[in-house]
Amino acid sequence: MNIHEYQAKQVLKGFGAPVAEGVAITSVEEAEGAARQLPGPLYVVKSQIHAGGRGKGKFKELGPDAKGGVRLAKSVEEAVAHAKEMLGNTLVTKQTGDAGKQVNRLYIEDGADIDRELYLSLLVDRAVGKVAFVVSTEGGMDIETVAEETPDKIVNVPIDPVQGVTEADAKALCDALKLEGEARSDGMSLFPILYKAFMDKDMSLLEINPLIVMENGRLRVLDAKVSFDGNALFRHDDIKALRDETEEDAKEIEASKYDLAYVALDGTIGCMVNGAGLAMATMDIIKLYGKEPANFLDVGGGATTEKVTAAFKIITADPNVKGILVNIFGGIMRCDVIAEGVVTAVKDVGLKVPLVVRLEGTNVEKGKAILDQSGLDITAADDLDDAAKKIVAAVG
């Protein structure tokens, strides 16, 4: 689960990290009051969307010469003028795709006098099986370019899970970021704070880009992107409350209500599969035969007819879906339950695209009989290969 920058900063502030003062607003009327709560004379008006690259982003409605999604203002009036221009408009950044995201919320923040912009993130490094800091002196808006062109400027510091951030780790991070004087002592206390926040709240990513050294020599968290491990949310009611469903894919929200593991993708073939491994294999074989999957969907081991019906409806509601492949290996899952779910769903929502069903395993004969007797236009397949070929051919 992702949250907004202003929420991430609240969370980090709770652990003692240095963040700027700021006020989140959702209407132009609130802009002046928000700015007046800040010390000034420099303000920053920041679009709150679940995507990065806002500074270099462009508003669709405003044309190519207008300013981006993060704007400096030298007075309260200027901050209000920016808020007026930004709220309600669609911001397109490297991460939003061409459709962009509507900016429904702004964060008006105290402007900082920046000396240097650094990069810092915490992530789960699978290669070493540890949480690791990734840092670079080349922070700011183009870390992707740094990673591509000068990867030696990015330093990785894995953290021992038992010891946590040791003094040696913190020193290594300070050295990598070339921190001196007060910034160095700020760093020595900040790194353990960030690690604690990451672990305590079950984050899967914490990215601060930029972490800045200010002209007064102190460190400040200037941007913050945080993702949480969805499987651990049950023990963090405070984090769950930060969820903003308007930023999420509507189909994924619907799927989560039915406890379906669903991820929306860009292709044309909708997939309904049981088991994550089989779902991955199904996506691979669709690609092998030249098409792209429209989604990943694992209906799970103990799916009911109701769950299968919900899954089918979510797939057919996607306008990109030009064909559907149901691929079930009935182990715990019974094929007749799947067949009933498919039939119920098709009767409910209709079937406007080709449907190929491959069933194998427990109660397969019963399942096939249900599909046969339904009178629906369903193509049966014998195995995974046959199924993929048939759906790719049907979509054309």
Where along the sequence are the contacts to ligand ADP (CB under 6 A)? 20, 44, 46, 52-55, 70, 109, 111-112, 114, 117, 140-141, 209-210, 222-223
The option from ligand ADP, Mg ion, none interacting with 219 (CB < 5 to 8 A, set by class) reads none
Give strand pairing partners of 136: 119, 154
- The answer to whether 109 contacts Mg ion (rule: CB under 5 A) is no
Minimum separation from the CB atom of position 98 to ligand ADP (A):
18
Per the annotation, the verdict on 119 as an active-site residue is: yes
Q: Checking phi first, is residue 214 left (phi over 0); if not, alpha (psi -120 to 50) or beta?
A: beta
| 3-state percent breakdown (helix, strand, coil) of the chain, nearest 5 | 40, 25, 35
Strand ranges, E, within the chain: 22-25, 43-47, 58-59, 70-73, 90-92, 101-102, 106-110, 114-125, 130-136, 154-159, 203-214, 219-221, 225-228, 261-264, 269-273, 295-298, 323-330, 355-361, 379-381
Scanning 155-163, 179-187, 193-201, 223-231 for contacts with Mg ion by CB under 5 A, the matching segment is 223-231
- Pick between residue 109 and residue 223 the one whose CB is nearest to Mg ion: 223
Task: Give the CB-side neighbour count of residue 338, counting CA atoms within 13 A.
Answer: 31
The reply to whether 84 sits in an annotated binding site is no
The reply to whether 341 sits in an annotated binding site is no
Minimum separation from the CB atom of position 118 to ligand ADP (A):
10
Scanning 216-224, 257-265, 269-277, 294-302 for contacts with Mg ion by CB under 5 A, the matching segment is 216-224
Do the beta carbons of residue 120 and residue 209 sit within 8 Å? yes
Minimum separation from the CB atom of position 333 to ligand ADP (A):
43
Cβ burial 336-368 (10 Å sphere, 16+ → b, else e): bbbbbbbbbbbeeeebebbbbbbbbbbbbebbb
The reply to whether 109 sits in an annotated binding site is yes
The reply to whether 53 sits in an annotated binding site is yes
The residue within the footprint of Mg ion, chosen from 2, 7, 209, 282 (CB under 5 A), is: 209
Please return the burial class of 312, using the count of CB atoms within 10 Å of its CB with bins 0-12, 13-18 and 19+: buried
Q: Minimal CA–CA distance to 120: which of 155, 159, 158? A: 155
The reply to whether 322 sits in an annotated binding site is no
Q: Minimal CA–CA distance to 365: which of 336, 323, 332? A: 336
What CA–CA distances, in Å, run from 83 to 33, 284, 325? 12, 46, 47
- The answer to whether 138 contacts Mg ion (rule: CB under 5 A) is no
The option from ligand ADP, Mg ion, none interacting with 222 (CB < 5 to 8 A, set by class) reads ligand ADP
- Pick between residue 38 and residue 333 the one whose CB is nearest to ligand ADP: 38
The reply to whether 301 sits in an annotated binding site is no
The residue within the footprint of Mg ion, chosen from 109, 117, 186, 223 (CB under 5 A), is: 223
Cα dihedral: 187, 189, 193, 194 (round 10): 10
- Pick between residue 103 and residue 297 the one whose CB is nearest to ligand ADP: 103
Minimum separation from the CB atom of position 206 to ligand ADP (A):
14
Minimum separation from the CB atom of position 198 to ligand ADP (A):
19
Of 119, 195, 258, 262, the catalytic one is 119
- Pick between residue 145 and residue 166 the one whose CB is nearest to ligand ADP: 145
- Pick between residue 70 and residue 345 the one whose CB is nearest to ligand ADP: 70
Of 6, 43, 138, 207, the catalytic one is 207
- Pick between residue 54 and residue 334 the one whose CB is nearest to Mg ion: 54
Give binding residues for ATP as ranges.
Answer: 46, 53-55, 109, 112, 117
Residue numbers at the binding site for Mg ion (CB under 5 A): 209, 223
Just list the catalytic residues: 119, 207
